[in-house]
Amino acid sequence: MLIYNSLTRKREEFVPNVAGKVSMYTCGPTVYHYAHIGNLRSYIMEDVLEKYLRYTGLDVTRVMNITDVGHLSSDADTGEDKMLKGARRENKTVLQIAKFYTDAFFEDCKKLNIKTPEVVAPATTCIDEFIKTIEALIEKDYAYEAGGNIYFDTSKLSQYYVFNDFKEEDLEVGVREGVEEDTNKRNKADFVLWFTKSKFDDQELKWDSPWGIGYPGWHIECSCISMKYLGEYLDLHCGGIDNAFPHHTNEIAQSEAFVGHKWCNYWFHVHHLNTNSGKMSKSSGEFLTVSLLESKGYDPLVYRFFCLQSHYRKSLVFSYENLDNAVIAYNKLVAKIAALYKEEQGEIDAEALAALKARFSAAMDNDLNTSLAITALYDVLKAKTNAATKLAALADFDRVLCVGLIDAAQKIFDAEKRAAEAEAEAAANDPFVAYVQDMIAQRAAAKKAKDFARADAIRAELLEKGVTLTDTSQGTKWSLAE
C-alpha cells in the first residue's frame, strides 16, 4: 500500500518494522467537551486506515490516549488547562468532566462504526511513565529546570522542524498576542514537560514529582503512552493536521532524544473539516456534534459516507446542502443493493469477485483513496455478474468502509418482504382478494405459455368485477375501481 508520509512528504510503500504486524498510535480527544464532527472526521479516516491495513492481512495493535490533563488553550504552553476550563464551565470536577466526555466520545464512535483501539489510556493513569521519561531526558541533558518547570531544550537537536520548513516567525508559537512570553525558555521553541510552578493556582489535578507537585505537559503524554504499549519502534502515528506542529514535532523531539534512534516511520495526518466560516474548533464558537446531526434526522453513518467521499488529505467543507447530497447518494446505493436481494442469486463467481476486489484494493492502496473506493461500489452494481457475487463484493468492501450499506439494504428488503407477507395473509382471510390473486397467477401462467387469449379473458373478467390490472417490473398490481 502507498501511503503519504508527512515526514518525508512523499507517498511511500507502507512496510512495518516487523513483517505482518503494525503498531499504530492515535492522538485521542481532549475530553473537556463533546467531539465535534471535525474531530470525528479524523477518527473516521484513521479507522478506515486501520481497517484497511487489517483487510490486507496485517495484524494491527492500536493505542489511543485520552487527554485529561495538561492540554493548554494554545497547543503550545500558554493559556489555561482545557480540562479546567470545561470543569468550570459546567461546575463539575475535572474527573467528572473527563469521564462524561470520554463516554460521549466513544458513544459517537460507536454510532459512526469507529472501532475502539486495543488500548485506550487516559493521561492521568500514566503519570509514573511521564516522570521517568522526563528524568531520563534531564539525565541526557535534553531537558532543564527553569522557574520551577521542566522544559525540553530544542537547541540540543540537529533537526527540530520535521514536517515543514518552518520559518523563524513560526518559532513564536508560544508568544501570541495578549499572552505573556515565558521567559524561562532558553529557546522560543522549547516546550514544557512538567509544570510545577503552575500559572493556575486552582489547577485541580496535581502529582508529586522529583521537581515538586505539578502536572505533565501535553506532548509528553503521547510519547510515553505510545512507548509504554508499543515499544521504542512505532510504525504509524495518526492525528489531525493541526497536531503536526507543535504537538507531533515535540513528540518526535522528546521520543527520539529518549530512545536515541528514529522512533516512528510513518505519519498520517487528516486534513480539516471546515465550515463556510472556517475551521471547526471546540474552543471557539458553535460546533456540530453527531447528536445534533441525529436530532436533525441524519443517520450518523451517512456522515461517515460523506467523509469517505473525499480524500483525507484535502480539507472538506461541511454544509447541510453537501450532507443532503450525500444522503441522496447513500439512499440510491442502498435501494440498488436492496434490489439485488430480489434477483436470482446464483453461485458466487470467484473470478468476477476477484476482479471487483482488485478495483477496490487499487483505490485503497493509492494513499487510501476512499472516494475511488466508493466508485468501486458503483462498479459492482454495474458489473456483468450475478447478484450473489455482487453482494459478496459489497459486503467485503464494507468490512473496511463500514457505512452500513448491506444492513440498510437488508432492512429495506426485509420490510418489503414483511409487507408482501402481510398482503398474502390478508388475501388468505378475504375470499375476494384470494380470487383476484389466483386470477393474476393464472394470467401470468397463461402469458408464459403464450396463451394470450386466455390472459386477455382473465383481464376482462376481472375488469367486469371492477378490478384493474397494471403490469409493472415488480409484477402485476391490481386496484379496485372507486
**Which residues bind to Zn ion, rule: CB under 5 A?**
27, 222
Q: What is the DSSP string of 143-172?
A: EEEETTEEEE-GGGSS----SS---GGGGG
**Could you tell which of ligand AMP, Zn ion, none binds residue 38, using a CB distance below 5 to 8 A set by kind?**
ligand AMP
Q: What is the DSSP letter of 36?
A: P
Please identify, using beta-carbon distances, which residue of 5 and 243 lies nearer to ligand AMP.
243
Report the partner that residue 222 touches, choosing among ligand AMP, Zn ion, none (CB closer than 5 to 8 A by kind).
Zn ion
Q: How far is the CB of 155 from Zn ion (least distance, A)?
A: 23
User: If you search the block for the grid coordinates 471557539, which residue do you land on?
Assistant: 284
Residue 47 or 153 with smaller CB distance to ligand AMP: 47
Query: How far, in Å, CA of 150 to CA of 192, rounded?
Result: 6
* Contact between 406 and 395 (Cβ < 8 Å): yes
Interaction between residue 154 and ligand AMP (CB under 6 A): no
Q: Which of 16, 29, 174, 214 binds ligand AMP (CB under 6 A)?
A: 29
Closest approach of ligand AMP to the CB of residue 280, in Å:
4
Which range in 178-186, 195-203, 269-277, 389-397 contacts ligand AMP by CB under 6 A?
269-277
Q: Which is nearer to Zn ion, 67 or 310 (CB)?
A: 67
Strand arrangement of the beta sheet that strand 234-240 belongs to:
119-122, 59-66, 21-26, 234-240, 264-270
User: Which of 282, 357, 447, 454 touches ligand AMP (CB under 6 A)?
Assistant: 282
Distance CA 428, CA 234 (A): 66
Spatial contact of 75 and 246, defined as CB atoms under 8 Å apart: yes
Site residues (CB under 6 A) for ligand AMP, limited to 37-96? 38-39, 41-42, 67
Question: How are beta strands 234-240 and 215-216 bridged, if at all?
Answer: unpaired
Q: Is 304 in the site for ligand AMP (CB under 6 A)?
A: no
- Closer CB to ligand AMP, 121 or 408, in the complex: 121
Which CB sits closer to ligand AMP, 101 or 130? 101
User: CB of 183: closest distance to ligand AMP in angstroms?
Assistant: 28
Torsions phi, psi for 23 (to 5 deg):
-100, 125
Nearer to Zn ion, 282 or 447 (CB): 282
Query: Site for ligand AMP (CB under 6 A): which residue of 22, 24, 27, 337?
Result: 27
CB nearer ligand AMP, residue 222 or residue 440: 222
What is the Cα–Cα distance from 114 to 363, expressed in whole angstroms?
21
Return the one option of ligand AMP, Zn ion, none that residue 272 interacts with (CB less than 5 to 8 A, by type). ligand AMP
> Judged by CB under 6 A, which stretch of 162-170, 268-276, 341-349, 468-476 contacts ligand AMP?
268-276
- Residue 270 or 405 having the CB closest to ligand AMP: 270
# of chain residues touching ligand AMP (CB under 6 A): 19
Task: Specify whether the CB–CB gap between 219 and 187 falls below 8 A.
Answer: no
Peptide bond into 16 cis (omega under 30): no
Distance CA 162, CA 250 (A): 10
Of 190, 191, 194, 201, residue with least CA distance to 216: 194
Give the helix ranges, DSSP H, for 231-319.
249-259, 290-295, 300-308
What is the SS3 assignment for 207? Answer: strand
* Closest among 14, 231, 210 to 119, alpha carbons compared: 231
- Answer with the entry of ligand AMP, Zn ion, none that 39 interacts with (C-beta below 5 to 8 A by kind): ligand AMP
Residue nearest to ligand AMP (CB): 240
Beta bridge partners of 214: 207
Q: How far is the CB of 180 from ligand AMP (least distance, A)?
A: 24
Question: Which is nearer to ligand AMP, 228 or 313 (by Cβ)?
Answer: 313
Whose Cβ is closer to ligand AMP: residue 56's or residue 274's?
A: 274
| Alpha-carbon dihedral angle through residues 180, 185, 186, 187, given to the nearest 10 degrees | -70
User: What angle, 0 to 180 degrees and rounded to 10, lies between the N-to-C axes of helices 370-382 and 300-308?
Assistant: 100
Residue 76 in grid coordinates: 503550545
At 13, the amino acid letter reads: E
Angle at 392 between CA 388 and CA 397, to 5 degrees: 150
Nearest distance from residue 208's CB to ligand AMP, in Å? 27
User: Should residue 240 be labelled a site residue for ligand AMP when binding is judged by CB under 6 A?
Assistant: yes
Contact window for ligand AMP (CB under 6 A) among 163-171, 185-193, 270-278, 348-356? 270-278
Q: How far is the CB of 303 from Zn ion (least distance, A)?
A: 24
Among the listed ranges 255-263, 276-284, 318-326, 369-377, the one in contact with ligand AMP (CB under 6 A) is 276-284
Is-contact 356 382, C-beta < 8 A? Answer: no
Q: Enter the C-alpha cell of residue 42.
A: 479524523
**CB contact at 8 A, 171 and 188:** yes
For ligand AMP, the closer of residues 186 and 314 by Cβ is 314
Q: Which positions touch ligand AMP (CB under 6 A)?
A: 27, 29-30, 38-39, 41-42, 67, 239-240, 242-243, 270, 272-273, 279-282
